[in-house]
């Protein structure tokens, strides 16, 4: 017992040392992440010019933007396109992850790395590259003599842009959950005489639901809150809540922009809480 305690002490000391190293990051996080949220929360309840707090007055009029027709349309468009994108990403993401899981490739993680490699590049660059492809005359038309899409500024451009941008976010969590499934469970299901489809639907899918939910949230949340895709690919023609928040801050309507941002933040935090409830160990999160 004494030897066991002696082996544990260095491990605990190492953890304590790592916690000390993490303190500067936590301080940085509190200052540059939490402090702006506090400022936005205060701006919700005051009437000011810009972010100047001189001669500010308490008001609840800023919440009137939540009932405005433009805001309701933006919320509806964000929810509609985000849900469609999430459904498409679930289908194609699960298909990719399951195909890789069942493949005989030796270095599967290298293939997985290639699939999620777009996540490491700047999202603005990717979106602008898509915007050029969605024009009637583009590099694909010149090289392969393909017909131009000419969908820039439409809902199709936003939908395709979201699927292309956020599909890698769902592949990795699903594949991680599939890798944790005990192969003997599949063998037992086949021994009981079920078909491959029934095995997939009754065994594989329920055991991978954590990764499916985690990946779905990782697609849904940035789709709802993002502003770059509606602005660049949608050309601002289709109002979405992220784009509306950006426009409020650009026009210095900080009070109304803060209301929309805080409401959206509450939705995101609630979704993260749901993920933590379903996957307490964080096994499937990136």
- Can you give the pLDDT at residue 85? 96
Give the pLDDT score at 95. Answer: 93
| Mean pLDDT for the stretch of residues 224-247 | 90
- Tell me the per-residue pLDDT of 89-123, one tens digit each, with 9 for 90 and over: 999 999 999 998 888 888 888 888 888 787 788 88
Phi/psi-derived region of residue 285, left when phi > 0, alpha when psi is between -120 and 50, beta in every other case: beta
Q: What is the pLDDT of residue 279?
A: 61
pLDDT at 86 over 90: yes
Provide the token pair at 150: 């000419």
Tell me the per-residue pLDDT of 204-223, one tens digit each, with 9 for 90 and over. Answer: 988 898 889 888 988 998 99
Look over the chain and give the mean of its residue pLDDT values, rounded to a whole number: 83
- pLDDT of amino acid 125: 87
User: Tokens 């469970």 belong to which residue?
Assistant: 185
Selected residue with higher pLDDT from 282 and 30: 30
* Most confident of the ranges 22-36, 132-146, 175-189: 175-189
User: Where residue 281 falls among pLDDT bands split at 50, 70, 90?
Assistant: low
Q: How far apart are CA 258 and CA 265, in angstroms?
A: 10
The CA distance from 91 to 153, in Å, is: 26
* 22 confidence band (pLDDT: 50, 70, 90): confident
Instruction: Give the tokens for residue 165.
Output: 């941008």
Instruction: Confirm whether pTM is higher than 0.95.
Output: no
């Amino acid at each position: 017992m004494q030897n066991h305690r002696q082996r544990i002490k260095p491990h605990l000391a190492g953890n304590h040392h790592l916690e000390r190293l993490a303190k500067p990051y936590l301080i940085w996080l509190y200052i540059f992440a939490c402090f702006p949220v506090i400022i936005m929360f205060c701006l919700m309840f005051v009437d000011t010019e810009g972010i100047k707090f001189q001669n500010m007055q308490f008001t609840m009029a800023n919440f009137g933007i939540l009932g405005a027709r433009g805001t309701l349309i933006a919320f509806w468009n964000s929810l509609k396109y985000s849900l469609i994108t999430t459904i498409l990403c679930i289908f194609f993401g699960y298909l990719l992850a399951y195909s890789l899981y069942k493949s005989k490739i030796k270095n599967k993680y290298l293939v997985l790395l290639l699939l999620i490699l777009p996540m490491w590049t700047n999202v603005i660059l990717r979106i602008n590259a898509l915007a050029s492809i969605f024009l009637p005359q583009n590099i694909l038309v010149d090289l392969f003599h393909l017909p131009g899409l000419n969908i820039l500024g439409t809902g199709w451009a936003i939908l395709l842009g979201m699927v292309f941008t956020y599909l890698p976010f769902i592949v990795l969590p699903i594949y991680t959950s599939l890798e944790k499934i005990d192969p003997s469970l599949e063998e037992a299901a086949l021994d009981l005489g079920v078909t491959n489809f029934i095995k997939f639907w009754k065994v594989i899918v329920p055991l991978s639901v954590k990764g499916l939910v985690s990946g779905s949230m990782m697609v849904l949340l940035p789709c709802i809150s993002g502003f770059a895709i509606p602005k660049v690919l949608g050309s601002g023609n289709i109002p979405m809540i992220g784009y509306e928040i950006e426009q409020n801050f650009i026009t210095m309507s900080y009070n109304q922009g803060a209301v929309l941002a805080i409401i959206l933040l509450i939705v995101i935090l609630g979704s993260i809480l749901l993920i933590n409830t379903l996957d307490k160990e964080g096994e499937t999160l990136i």
